[in-house]
Amino acid sequence: MSIQRTSTSFPPLNPQWKYDVFLSFRGNDTRRAFTDHLYTALEHQGIITFRDDPELQKGGAISPELFAAIEESRFALIVLSRNYALSTWCLDEIVRILECMKARETVLPIFYDVDPSDVRKQTGSFREAFANLEERFRNDKEKVRSWRYALTEVASFSGWNSKEWYESKLIKDIVDVIWTKLQPTSCSYAENLVGIHSRLQQLNFLLGVGLDDDVRFIGIWGMGGIGKTTMVRVVYERIAREYEFSFLLTDVRNSVERSGLLNLQKQLLSGIWTKKADISDLHDGATIIRRLLGHKKVLLVLDDVNHSSHLKYLAGNREWFGLGSRVLITTRNEHLLIEHGVERRLKAEELNDDDSLQLFSWKAFKRGYPEEDFLALSKSVINYAKGLPLALEVLGSFLYGRDLSEWKSALKKLGRVCNLEIFDILKTSYNDLDSEEKKIFLDIACFFNGQDKDRVTEVLNSCDVSAIIGIKVLMERSLLTVSHGRLRMHDLLQKMGREIVHRESPNEPSRCSRLWLLEDVKHILSNNSGTEAIEGIFVDSTESEVKVDVNRKSFSMMNKLRYLKINNANLPKGLEYLPNSLLIVDWTRYPFKSLPSHFNPQKLLELRLCHSCIKHFRIGTEPLYNLKTIDLSHSLDLVSTPNFKV
């Protein structure tokens, strides 16, 4: 986790600058008072400032160390006090400062208890100083002339006159001006981010920057890797300077897991409070944060929040902040925002195909479009990623610099094996689910993606889980959507779910809870190697022409089997057993005239035996009160069925 704030953070230094600011002053005048306070404020803001050590000034000429510090500083603050011109050291400094910085317009004078015109014209205390200098350097009039010229030049620059300010406000304004000048341009982070401007249009509207008559909480939610963090970083960089205090707290979830929420409160307070935050519990921390920020215009960004306590103790409510404040929250869980009363919410959506191709190309080819020979393969990656920026960046970086054969090999592998970096980030959302929600997620990922929501809800309810609230939670946590009444899961989330099941027993599919790969199903059914771990078998109908050899006792050990969907099975020795735990039986081309005599599935919801050889249709001896669907279409040998009206 990283924390950035206007009170302690700063933009990265350009490699050519060792210091942000060189502070020039007359030591005897201001070192222990104004200059010390100014230096402390600059450092507290995170502005790297050079202040000379008195030891360096022993001797007549300016030291090489000071010359180097001037050359390596981006800005110069010159504190022009009454006795400034009495020091030839200071005068040499100002000459060198102009030589290095005049053209860049980075020299900022502070007229401390002196009139700017006295500096410009060398009158007042400066007249007396130069009278002495003229006498001392009667043989080096050019040097004196250079000092006069330097003071005249500096006095013409825009700066501050201490006589017009309360000292505390003067120091604050100086720090704010330097901080603003150090900030990168508003588009520097966003300039190479594909599709970012269109994604920010709605967010900019919700933010209402410049409207200072309210306090706004804005929530951005969406699946992992969708670009929420990128969005808030761009916004933070663009508008942070407009606030008295601004904080960017990234990766809140992991920070709290590592160090605790109390430690995060302390870090936040360190950017507000000059004293060390000695708080003993979360309530104390919340009280202090509210007291210190209650009348301040604040920008607070909380990135990757996954628990309501994070919002309760870091952001509280609107009364914690002064008018004009903005609290920006990213999360994978929309319900956290709803629970906290965040009315302005925005779902982060996937990139379109054009933006996806451009983002991928920047990573894979270091330009905005693919090389001609790689265009078709690039489009395959776009189809795989389905608009997820995380996947586009990870795969593009991985494929950069590789040849065509390596690309083809890598893409073939992706069809079988999840990319670990993508998997780990997406799985974080799964880890936050409870056991029932995980069961629902895996069932949908393995069997019900794209199916009718009401039908799947009914099936899952029969599995003794609370499907209605479970599906709602998955939707709130960006793991599932509903479109036209059907459940939709992003392809990479589905792959992640299936990978979780595969990892239950990587080398023995018979010990995995769910099976969907034809080869795994064929191996288990033909070798009678099924176990009670198996809860579902779904072979896709597109593979219906492939014959599956089934042992007559293949299902005898699968006493927890809930779903069975199979096509075109070959059972040369008959079928002895089907588990009574089954909720769904969907067996196209069922090859026998009847179902096993001991098959009595009391929870059965759906029975589909299309194109079957069924002749006498009867199931068990007890009424099947839960049975909702029977489909025996195209079963041409059917002779008798029970009386369904009874």
- Whole-angstrom distance, CA of residue 97 vs CA of residue 84: 15
- Rounded Cα distance, 62 and 66, in Å: 7
The DSSP 8-state label assigned to residue 614 in this structure reads -
Residues 167-185 as b or e (16 or more Cβ within 10 Å = b): eeebbeebbebbbeebeee
Which two three-digit tokens encode residue 624? 């099947």
52 and 26 in contact (C-beta within 8 Å)? no
Q: What are the C-alpha distances in Å from 148 to residues 79, 83, 109, 110?
A: 16, 15, 15, 17
Q: In one letter, which amino acid is 496?
A: M
| Torsion on CA atoms 309, 311, 313, 316, rounded to nearest 10 | -130
Write down the catalytic residue from 43, 71, 72, 93: 93
The alpha carbon of 553 is separated from its chain's Cα centroid by a whole number of angstroms, namely: 51
545 is catalytic: no
| Buried-state track 89-106, b at ≥16 Cβ within 10 A, e below 16 | bbbbbbbbbbebbeeeeb
Range 311-340 burial, b when 16+ CB lie within 10 A, else e: bebbbbeeebbbebbbbbbbbbbbebbeeb
Rounded CA separation 84/90 (Å) = 7
Q: Which amino acid is at 576?
A: E
Tokens (6 digits) for 273 = 């409070």
Burial of 630 (0-12, 13-18, 19+ CB in 10 A): middle
Q: Percent helix, strand, coil in the chain (nearest 5)?
A: 45, 15, 40
Measure CA of the first residue to CA of the last residue in the chain; give whole Å.
65
> What are the start-end ranges of the E strands in 503-551?
514-515, 536-538, 548-549
Catalytic positions are 93
